């Protein structure tokens, strides 16, 4: 689930991905994500995948491509922060001979290479405003212009974007175009952090141990009960990517001590060292942030307890159903949950959207 080097490889093979049962686990959040994916895979609409770093947004983007009618077409990934801003425009849109000093020949860009396939823009929030306007044109009419060219070129491409930031906040501070946000956010998928799907840890850990035992020709054994308990209590700031790296280290070094020292149970502390006591302190702002985070955790707990039945959850919280829907959106929690029922066989992709 680690990132790939987007500079050294342009059109990338999909490669081997973990089984669906490992990717999606058994939580309601991931099962809902899987059902939503099945509905959008066949529809040629932009998709925005959002969530913290290391949650597996890259894997989900690849699965959308693999389940789409364009799966035989190219898969082209662009890791926006990995390419310097001065080079990103030419990497994305290409250039003509003589367009600038050193342009000794024509070069197609990533957009052109993704023709009749999928273009995955990872960390879309890192795009400069000038590039955002060119991407907007691509999404609006399927056309783009190479640097130094006189005419636009037309391309058929499915655009999938990912971000670990709240783009609404980026719009508010002027670093992201609102019109582009509405274009890429036709359908959005939320990747929950690992700490919200701790019940999936045993299967994920077993998969990584087996995978790296095979890769490094090692014989690491399953983790002890004490270490598993520590892993369940850990707050996972690096999410699945951090878990993968820990298990890789365990397999290579062969002892649990190699990773146990990095695990400390995380207790939320809203009055920590992040507060700069040397300058002015906004008590009202800090208090509001603390209350907002605590409210989010309470709502999540109640929703999980009631199997994401929002009407029952609203009654338990003694608030109206409409107020709960608002608070779910405000807390950044996914709102569309399937009722708990026996696991069905995966449904074939359909075009109808939510």
Q: Which of 211-215, 245-249, 251-255, 306-310 has the lowest mean pLDDT?
A: 306-310
Could you tell me the CA-to-CA distances from 70 to 63, 116, 157 in Å, in that order? 12, 6, 9
Q: Average pLDDT for residues 201-225, to the nearest whole number? A: 95
CA distance 51 to 55: 7
Superfamily of domain 20-192 in CATH is P-loop containing nucleotide triphosphate hydrolases (3.40.50.300)
CA distance 41 to 61: 10
pLDDT for 120-146, tens place per residue?
A: 999 999 999 989 999 999 999 999 988
Pair type for strands 143-144 and 153-154: antiparallel
Indicate if the pLDDT at residue 342 is higher than 70.
no
Indicate if the pLDDT at residue 10 is higher than 80.
no
Tokens of 332: 């950044």
pLDDT for 158-174, tens place per residue?
A: 999 999 999 998 999 89
Could you tell me the CA-to-CA distances from 103 to 142, 146, 260 in Å, in that order? 25, 12, 52
Q: Are 136 and 183 within 8 A, CB to CB? A: yes
Helix (H, G, I), strand (E, B) or coil at 233: helix
- Rg (Cα) of the chain, in Å, rounded? 22
Q: Which of 24-38, 57-71, 109-123, 285-299 has the lowest mean pLDDT?
A: 285-299
Q: Which CATH number fits domain 283-330: 2.60.120, 1.10.10, 1.10.3470, 1.10.12?
A: 1.10.10
Compute φ and ψ for 11, nearest 5 degrees.
Answer: -85, 110
* Average pLDDT score over the chain: 84
Closest CA to 145 of 191, 109, 118, 183: 109
Residue 260's pLDDT is 85
User: 170 CB contacts (<8 Å, ≥6 apart)?
Assistant: 125, 176
Q: Are 298 and 282 within 8 A, CB to CB? A: no
Domain ranges of the chain: 20-192, 195-260, 283-330
Residue 275's pLDDT is 56
CATH topology of domain 195-260: Helicase, Ruva Protein; domain 3 (1.10.8)
Residue 266's pLDDT is 52
CA distance 245 to 258: 11
pLDDT for 243-277, tens place per residue?
A: 999 999 999 999 999 898 878 655 444 444 455 55
């Amino acid at each position: 689930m680690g990132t790939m080097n987007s500079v050294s490889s342009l059109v990338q093979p999909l490669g081997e991905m973990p089984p669906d049962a490992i990717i999606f686990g058994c939580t309601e959040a991931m099962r809902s994500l899987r059902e939503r994916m099945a509905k959008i895979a066949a529809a040629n609409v932009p998709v925005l995948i959002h969530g913290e770093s290391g949650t597996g947004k890259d894997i989900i983007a690849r699965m959308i491509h693999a389940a789409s009618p364009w799966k035989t077409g190219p898969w082209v990934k662009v890791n926006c922060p990995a390419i310097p801003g001065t080079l990103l425009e030419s990497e994305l849109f290409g250039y003509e001979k003589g367009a600038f000093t050193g342009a000794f020949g024509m070069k197609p860009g990533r957009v052109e290479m993704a023709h009749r396939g999928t273009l995955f823009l990872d960390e879309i929030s890192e795009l400069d405003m000038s590039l955002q306007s060119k991407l907007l044109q691509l999404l609006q009419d399927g056309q783009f212009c190479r640097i130094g060219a006189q005419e636009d070129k037309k391309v058929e491409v499915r655009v999938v974007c990912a971000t670990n930031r709240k783009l609404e906040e980026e719009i508010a501070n002027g670093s992201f175009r609102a019109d582009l946000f509405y274009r890429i956010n036709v359908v959005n998928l939320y990747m929950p952090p690992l700490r919200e799907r701790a019940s999936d840890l045993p299967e994920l850990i077993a998969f990584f141990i087996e995978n790296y035992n095979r890769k490094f020709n090692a014989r690491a054994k399953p983790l002890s009960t004490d270490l598993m308990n520590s892993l369940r209590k850990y707050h996972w700031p690096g999410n699945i990517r951090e878990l993968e790296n820990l298990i890789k280290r365990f397999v290579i070094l062969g002892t649990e001590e190699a990773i146990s020292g990095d695990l400390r149970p995380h207790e939320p502390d809203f009055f920590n060292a992040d507060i700069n006591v040397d300058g002015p302190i906004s008590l009202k702002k800090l208090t509001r942030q603390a209350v907002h985070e605590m409210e989010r955790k309470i709502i999540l707990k109640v929703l999980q307890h009631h199997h994401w039945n929002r009407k029952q959850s609203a009654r338990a919280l003694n608030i109206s159903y409409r107020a709960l829907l608002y608070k779910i959106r405000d807390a950044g929690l996914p709102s569309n949950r399937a009722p708990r029922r026996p696991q069905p066989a995966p449904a074939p992709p359909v075009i109808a959207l939510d």
